[in-house]
Structure formats: structure tokens, C-alpha cells
Amino acid sequence: MNTQAEIDDFVLNGHLYYIPHVSLDCAIFGYHDQQLKLLLIKHKAIDGWCLPGGYIKRTEKLVEAANRNVKERTGIDNLFLQQFKTFGDPNRARMDEFDEEKWFEATGIRITKDNWLIDQTISIGFYAITDFSKTELQKDMLIEDCAWFDINELPKLEFDHDEMVSEALHAMRVQLYHYPIGINMLPEKFTLSEIHALYETLLGKKLDVSNFPKKLIALGLLKKLDEKRSIGAHRSPHLYVFDKEKYSQALKDGVVLS
Amino acid sequence: MNTQAEIDDFVLNGHLYYIPHVSLDCAIFGYHDQQLKLLLIKHKAIDGWCLPGGYIKRTEKLVEAANRNVKERTGIDNLFLQQFKTFGDPNRARMDEFDEEKWFEATGIRITKDNWLIDQTISIGFYAITDFSKTELQKDMLIEDCAWFDINELPKLEFDHDEMVSEALHAMRVQLYHYPIGINMLPEKFTLSEIHALYETLLGKKLDVSNFPKKLIALGLLKKLDEKRSIGAHRSPHLYVFDKEKYSQALKDGVVLS
């Protein structure tokens, strides 16, 4: 939200064009050069760091709402977004801890107890993976800060977002065995070592050399090019590309990679 | 719901103790003797068959709400319930097709346009697997019929429930590779052939003989007993049991079975 009028309208009339009681939160993982990071934001009305998220327009599909949220923060459109879990513990966001003054200071508008934003909300978790070196993080009037954090050095998050991150990581790691996730994290042409390093970093563990790439080749998802990269004397590994058609099909249907 | 007073209270005051705009639907799979079935219900105010489902109490965790719903229909408590996807397409349940008269006839109470039940709803999908021969199906005042259908002979379902079933089956089949699902579908002591048949039926495809059971043994999830079952001359296969502690841990953490 970029103007005071937009904020006022959201607070006062948001229930008319968003679905009340339902929000979404996005765990956006960023990969680059064997590093795995997570995107966090700091909302002006909330003390600590959170996952980016928002509400769902009544005219939107859930994944469209997630895409809109991710695009607003990262500038990236059409990331592969995957629902991982919906969170609805009655204690997940305690409204008795809602700080009215801090909210007013941050937003310039007072919320009354009967406002649509002050009620129990369930939240749908999505995760995405992108190359963090290609993103352009964007703040808005309600967001004080927005940054990539190393996955092993995350601060304590607000609400139930620590649990969300842990569930998102778990779901992503299970799904790595069933969906090819990687097309937007590697150069267009890459070596087997590069894709191996990607999988090791995402899974957070050492893998049998070339196990994953071998499966990807066997499934026809990777194509070997008649082209090598020269990285030193006697070292010129073959380059590979994804078969985009088979990749899209596998993303839709799932495969067994392990 | 078993009395008219309960129905009236649900329609008129339900928004006070349930979360509005959010429902859940349960794909309850039933296995027995190499058959896979799905539980469907026919609501008195709706023409066709649907998945059983309901609303979430403001004091309940999501899985508790799903458990309550499943128990109400099957009489079975504490089934392993797994969220598989949340559905929020704006066209998923078209309220312009809501039949006011049919609703009145079925429930004995009129719903006005501003009622909490008449608004866009997102629905959280859970699946469960049980032994259908052990269930006792239960109807209530709003449910005309409740029955097991062979997974290959399902009727066309109402709303977006065909999509839900297909997503639930897909999620269950992917998760079979990562979670031991089976403890409530086999006798306490079982043969490797029995567990093999279970996995084949759930996956809907032939498997390499003993591939899954082998992995389960390697992971310590299955324990071989010093006991055999006599099923004919020269045929007395060993019996196995699940290691309940490791089984619970694997359900929590996930493993790689494939």
C-alpha cells in the first residue's frame, strides 16, 4: 500500500473485497551459489520479523493472491508457488496482544474492536524458491524493512511463523523428491556439479554424488548438450539444460526422483 | 446435528462459535482386502454426493475439527489425518445456485441473504485412511445418506469435490513414499504379502515385489516376529508387526521410502 487513502480504505472497507478470517503467508526461499536464504519483512505496526503475507481478494484464486504478494515484495512474477499447509490454531495470533497505539502510529488510522482485521484468522502457507541475486526487494508504506536472511541464522519470528518456516522447509524438501524445482535457480546451461550443489543446499545435507542429476536425466528432464564449459586444464564438464516441456509436465504430475 | 434446536442455533448463531468463511472437507479413504473406497455423503439440501465436511469451531485446531467431523460420520476417533490442500477458487461454490426452498424443506429454517452461511468460503482439505470394514457409518438430521464407493466407480460430485478427491489421492500417493501409512489397515500381525498388497492398492499400480516392505524393514519400521502363519503345504510366511515408536516418529518426521 502506497498512499494513506489506500490504507484507510483497506482498514475500513477491506472486508468487502477481501475474504475476512483468511490470510496467506509466503515462505520465499532464495538460492544462489550454495547459499539458502529466506525473505523476511518487518511490518511498521509489529515489533519483530515476519513472513511476507496478506489477504485474498474475493475475485482471486489462492495462488493468484500468493503470486500478487510475492511480486509486491520481490518484483518477481510467476514464481513456482506451492501450498504447504494451512494454519488455524486458535492461539496462532493473539489479538489480546494487539497494540492499538503502535498500529495507529504506523498506519495513521485507528482500528476499533469490531473491525474486520480484529478477529480470528486462519492462514494459508505457500512457499516459493527463487534466485535471491535476481530479486529487487520492495517496501511499501506499512513495511519498514524487507531482507534476505541465511536459513541457518534466522531471527525469532512473530506469531506462528517459526512453525510455518519449519513446515515450509520440510514440505519443500519432501517435494524435491517429486517435483523438479530448479529451473529459476540455475543458469540456462549448467553443469551436473551445479545442479548437484543446488539439491544439496536445498535439502541441507550431503547427497550421493550425482544421484539426483542421474534421475533427472533418466526421466528426460535434463538434456545433455554437445557443449562443454572450460574450467581449467583437463576439466571441461558437459553442459545441460532442462527440457522445458517435460519439466512443466513433471511439475504438474509429480515424479519419483529419489 | 440431531435436533431442530441444534440446526436453528447453527444457522442463526453459528458465526459466533465457528470461523465464518472457512470450512473443511475430508476425503476418507477406506482399505480392506485389496479394495480402495471413498466415503461420500448426501446432504438433504443438496442434490448429489459430496465429501463429508463442516466448519471449524473458534476454539479448535484445524486437525481437531477434521477429527470431530470424521468421528461423527465413521464412529472412528483419532484417525491419522493429513491436510493436503486448501481450496479457494472464487467459483468453487456458486451461491447463485443456492436453492432456498430446498434448504428450507431440508432444515426447517429459512436462510436470509445476510446469513453467515451465504458467503464465499475457502475449504481446507484433509485426507484419512482407515479400514472400511471396521467403520460404522452415522447419519444425522441433515444427512440423507452416507456410503462407501469404490474409488474407480465414484459418482460425479458436487461443487469442487471431484478436484478435491483427485488432489487428495495424489497427495496420499506422494506421501506414501514419505510416511508409513498402514497401521490401522492391517491386522496387528501381518505378512509381507499383505503389506505389499496394501501399498499396491493405495498407489493404484503394480510394484516391484517387496520393494516397499524392504524399505520399511531397513528403516526399522517393521519387525519380523519369530512366528509364522500357515497358509498351506510348504507355505508359512513370517509375520511382522509395526514398531509403534518408530512408526509414530516417522509419521512426524517423514522418511524416504522409495
pLDDT at B224: 92
Least confidently predicted of A132-136, A221-225, B210-214: B210-214
DSSP B215-242: HHHHTT-EEEEEEE---STT--PEEEEE
Residues of chain A contacting B256 with CB distance shorter than 8 Å: 177, 258
Distance from CA of A156 to the nearest CA of B (A): 22
Q: What's chain B's Rg over C-alpha atoms? A: 21
pLDDT digits (tens, 9 = 90+) for B78-92: 888 899 999 999 988
Q: Which residues contact B198 (CB under 8 A, 6 or more apart)?
A: B31, B182, B185, B186
Which chain B residue's Cα is nearest to A252? B170
Name the nearest CA neighbour of A125 among A95, A156, A155, A170. Answer: A170
What is the rounded distance in angstroms from the CA atom of residue B115 to the CA atom of residue B109? 12
Q: Is B258 touching A (CB cutoff 8 A)?
A: yes
Q: Taking CB atoms and an 8 Å limit, are A124 and B88 in contact across chains?
A: yes
Q: Is A88 touching B (CB cutoff 8 A)?
A: yes
**Residue range B200-215: mean pLDDT, rounded:** 79
pLDDT digits (tens, 9 = 90+) for B119-148: 889 999 999 999 999 888 988 888 999 999
**B16, B55 Cβ separation under 8 angstroms:** no
CATH 3.90.79.10 residue window(s) in chain B: 4-162
pLDDT at A257: 59
Q: Taking CB atoms and an 8 Å limit, are A120 and B58 in contact across chains?
A: yes
pLDDT over 60 (residue B258):
no
Least confidently predicted of A177-186, A190-199, B222-231: A177-186
Tell me the fold of B4-162.
Nucleoside Triphosphate Pyrophosphohydrolase (3.90.79)
Distance from CA of B236 to the nearest CA of A (A): 34
What is the rounded distance in angstroms from the CA atom of residue A179 to the CA atom of residue A251? 5
Q: Is the domain defined by A4-161 classed in CATH 3.90.79.10?
A: yes
pLDDT at A61: 96
pLDDT tier at A95, thresholds 50, 70, 90: low
pLDDT digits (tens, 9 = 90+) for A38-73: 999 999 888 899 999 999 999 999 999 999 998 988
Q: Is the domain defined by B192-253 classed in CATH 2.40.128.630?
A: no
CATH 3.90.79.10 residue window(s) in chain A: 4-161
CATH 1.10.10.10 residue window(s) in chain A: 192-253
Q: Taking CB atoms and an 8 Å limit, are B90 and A256 in contact across chains?
A: no
